[in-house]
Structure formats: C-alpha cells, structure tokens
Chain A
Amino acid sequence: MVDNKQQWKAWLYLSPAIVLLLVFTLWPIINTVRMAFLENYKSLEAAGGATFEFGIGNFLKVIQYKRFLTCLKNTVLLCVLTVPLSTILALLIAVALNSIKPLQRFLQTIFFLPYVTNSIAIGMVFAAMFNIVGAFYGTEQEIIVTAGIINNVIQFFGGEPINWINYGSTYAANITVMTIYIVWNALPFKILVLLGGLQSINKQYYDAAKVDGTSRKRIFTRITVPLLSPMIAYVVITGFIGGFKEYTSIVGIFGEKMGPADDAYRLNTMVGFIYDALSQNNQGRASAAALILFGIILVVTMINGWVSKKRVHF
C-alpha cells in the first residue's frame, strides 16, 4: 500500500520537471535529429505544408561549406592552444599555492576572480587593452584615435606596436589575443579543481619522500602529478568540451562580426556557424552542424577517457 502511495507521490513531485524536460530537452533531441536528416529542411516552409525528403544532404552541404571549415579550424586551433596552456599554468599556480601558508587564501581568491565575470564585458576590456595607439582605420573611410596599454608597453620596451585586433590586423595576431583571453578566463576553474585535488593528497607520501631525500622535481613528477592525474584529466576534458563551444569570448572582443572590421567572420566558431544557420532560418543545416559538434565532443571525450585509462592512476 505504502509502495503505491509513494509511486503516486513521486510522479506528482516529478511532474513539473518531467513536463519541462519533455518539451525542452527530449523533444529537441528527437526533432533536431529529424531535421538534420530531412533535405534542406526549413521550418517556415514546413509550417507552410512543404515536405522534405529523407537524406544526408544537410551533413554533406555543411562539411563542404568553406565557412564551416573556417569555423572548424578556428575552434580546433583555439582548443589545441588554450587547453594545454591553461592546464599547465593552472597546475603550476595550484602547486605553488599549495606549498605556501601565509596569503594562501587571499591569493586563491584573486586567482578565482576572473570566473565571476561576464565574458562579454571583460572581453570589451581586453579589446580596449589591445587597441592600436594613435590613429587607425575603423573602416576604410573612418579614422579612430585611441590608445592600447599593451602596445604602450611594447613601445616602452622598444618594440614595434602590433595591430592586434583592428582594421588590417593579421589572423595570427587575432588568435594570440583570443588565446590570452581564453586562458585568462579558463584559469580560475582549473586552479580551483587542481588545488582541491592537491589538498586531498595524503601527506604521508610527501613525508616518505622527505625521509628518502627525494628532490623537489622528482616529488612533482613522481608523486604530485600521478596522484593528481584524475583531476588533471577532469579539467582537460571539461576544457575541451568548453573549448569546442567557444563563442561568447570572441563576441566580447570582436563584436558580433566575429573578426576585424576588414574581415568579418574570420574568427567564427562551430557554435557561431550553428547560430548563423539558425538566424537564416535554415534549421536543417543548423541541426546537422549541431550533431557534428556533438559527435566531435563525444569523440574527444572518448579519446580522453581512453588515454586516461592508460595514464591516470586512481
């Protein structure tokens, strides 16, 4: 009897969540797969009574788009640059934080600060910092006078100022700025997780190493890194997943044009491609691109899992 009553109650309590999940989670999964496999599906036309043939045309079209390949290249490049860089930096900072006592909490708080920011807002600050000093072309006709602290510093040390993000800037300069910004943004989470991991390592390992007179370097490579490897694997996986969904940080620095004034969409990403297709009301193409993104994330996660199994010591 009690069992039956519990069953009834459980479904009652779950009902708001279930209704919302059916509409906004389950149905989208089914519908997105359906739209991806209907040739040239557009929901406006579908509402008008048009029918679409089943096929893999959307996928073929997406991967043949030059724009899509640009997006894929940008996304992969940013991932490959930022994930290792931010992980290594975060590891060094976490290990350093873990081996000091005074000021530890204070510094930990500072390193967490970039997390509680709005990536569009702080992107605008980075854009201002990387501006050209003096006059430059905003577009072909207009000239803007501005200042950028980074170029001030470069000039102070006798270097040539670099056109980082403005009209006529190079792709390499753009990617450098994006890498710096994304790493800056990614550090807090990684430091938090790695420091948490370090603090849970049993002190006895270090005491034993001390008794044996093991060098610091050896302690780091033979004790700290292996015992921390599950946490490292975790931040690498979440880093890659986040990296493949990179979008707003680029909007923050370059605006919705996703590139310098003379070459819009040069820095577009996979997520950007999906939204562009969506805003052109081409749901079939957007769905196909979203499934490709999901596939990539799945494969990367599986590779990570496979490498972890071989390398990670639990």
Chain B
Amino acid sequence: MSNTTTTMSEKNIQQVSAKQKVVKAIVLIGLYAFLGIMALIVLFPFYWMIISSLKTLDEYRMSVPTFWPQKIMFSNYAEAFTAASLGRLFVNTLYVGVVSTLLSLVITVLSAFAFARLEFKGRDTMFGLLLATMMIPGELFTITNYETVTKLGWMNTFTVLIVPFLVSVFYIYLLKQNFMQIPNELYLAAKVDGTSDIKYLWKVMIPLALPTLISITILKMMGAWNSYIWPRLVANDEAHRMITNGLRNAFTATSGDVNYPVQMAAVAIVSAPLFLVFIFLRKYIMAGVSRSGIKG
C-alpha cells in the first residue's frame, strides 16, 4: 500500500519536473531571442557604418541596398582622412587629452589625499560645498568662463581647452572614497619612519588606488575625444580644432553630391580609438561609469 503511493507521488514529481523543464526551456529560448534581437538593433548602426564606408558611391545609392559591399573600397578611408584633415585633428585632440589628463590626475590625487588623510579646519564643510556644485549644469559656468577666457586672451589656444576643466569634483570624490579605504595606520607608520608625503603617495596610495586612477584617465580622455560645445565656442580655428568639431564641420553640406561612404569612413575613423580603448580596458570604463551617470 505504502509502496504504491510512493511510486505514484514519484511519478507525479517526475511529471511536474518534466513540465517545469519544458516551461523553463521555453522561457530561456524567449530570453535569448529577446536579447538577440535587441543586441542586433544595438549593433546595427555600427555594422551599417562600416559596410557603408567600404562601398562605392554608386553601390551606396542603389535602390536595393546590399548588406555586404560588392567591391571593397579602402580608398574611402584615405579620402576621408584627407577630406576632413583628420591627421591634424587627431594630433590636436590627443595633445589636449594627454596634457589635461596628466595635470588633472596630479590635482585630483593631491586634493583627494588632503581630504582623505589630513585634518584641517573646515574640511567637511568644504567637501560638502564641492559636492553641491555637481548639481549645477555646466552651461551655467560656460557663460562666465567664456568671458573670463576672452579677458585672459586665451581664445584659440590649447590652454583654453585644457585649464578650465582640470578640476573635477566627481574625480576628487571618487579617489577620496578609494583613499579612505586604505588603513590610516600605514600613513602613521610611514610618518614614524620619516617618509615624506609625496613618497608615501607615490609608493603606497597610488598603487593601491590604481584602478580608480585608470578609470579617471579613460573618462578624461574620452571627454576630450567627445567634447564639442566648448571647443566650438573658444577654439574653432584650424590650428586648435578638436576632432568632433572637425568631423561635424567637414560634413555639414546637406546639398550637392554628398559622398556618404566617405563620410561614414570618417565617422568610423573617429570612432575606432574609442572602441579600441573599450575592448582593452572595458572593466575600468564600466566601473567608472556606473558611479558617474555623466557621459564623457
């Protein structure tokens, strides 16, 4: 008697679990299908940019589009490079990016160290005030800064692209949090040994906070690469133009014969460095971004 009931319930359990397995499989297929379709939608513009950049103008204009270029035109890339004088723009942007990142790192490390490790009057009040400025939209600063840099005679220089944005309260905040996780005993021990602050920073704090510093570096470089509004206002001459402005300026013509393949090649060239950085340093970018909510 008891034997039969156990086999019955076992059978039931098996049936139920088999049914559950089917449901689970269907749900799983649905999930992958949904994610697959969304991933294709997300990727499509990149795919379209690349294959368009490799087509001839005639093929691009065909009424039935091709999804793979019939004849691969690498020459579009060479043409884009000269048409938008991308070489010059690359050098300018790289220069501004590297110099502003280096200076910004020095300022950020020193400030974060002071806020995290040193005791001074008004420290918490001052830090609170700094955080409060993060609420204010950047446009509010731009109006006066435009006036200030004009008065300083910085118009159309690299200085104007670098100096006004060297201090980022967000980076100081990020690094300060990281520094505070390092036990204070290490600092006190170093003091007893007579190690200087700078040496201690260099030998202990910076290596331990390296991931945050890398995140800051990448975000800052990306910022230079993507900056558009400020450079357009203050440094839109040949010698100092930044890459995004150059790209937009080179292809503003919506009239006449627009060579879209060449335009797409230029866009691809400008996008490539960002993708390379992303592929190799994904982890640092994602870590920095998830805490910022700010693009670039």
Contact = CB atoms under 8 A, between A and B. Distances in A.
Interface of A: 3, 6-7, 9-11, 13-14, 16-17, 20-21, 23-25, 27-29, 31-32, 35, 43, 89, 92-93, 96-97, 99-100, 103, 107, 109-122, 124-126, 128-129, 133-134, 138-139, 142, 144-147, 149, 152, 184, 187, 189, 192-193, 196, 216, 234, 238, 241-242, 244-245, 247-248, 251-252, 255-256, 261, 271, 274-275, 278-279, 283, 286-287, 290-291, 293-294, 297-298, 301
Contacts of A286: 143
B43 A110 contact: yes
B137 A116 contact: no
Size band of the B side of the interface?
Answer: 35 or more
6 contacts: A7-B120, A16-B106, A16-B107, A43-B147, A125-B48, A144-B254
Given A144-B257, A152-B64, 4 more contacts: A111-B39, A122-B45, A142-B256, A301-B135
A25 B141 contact: yes
A144 B256 CA distance: 6
Nearest to A285: B143
B45 A184 contact: yes
A118 B270 contact: yes
B72 interface: no
Interface of A is mostly: helix
Contacts of B107: 16-17, 20
Interface of B: 27-28, 31-32, 34-35, 38-39, 41-43, 45-46, 48-49, 52, 60-65, 106-108, 110-111, 113-115, 118-121, 123, 130, 133, 135-148, 163-167, 172, 197, 222, 225-226, 228-229, 233, 244, 247-248, 251-252, 254-258, 260, 263-264, 267, 270-271, 274-275, 277-278, 282, 285-286, 289-290, 293, 295
A142 B256 CA distance: 7
Given A32-B140, A120-B247, A133 B252 contact: no
Contacts of A117: 271, 274
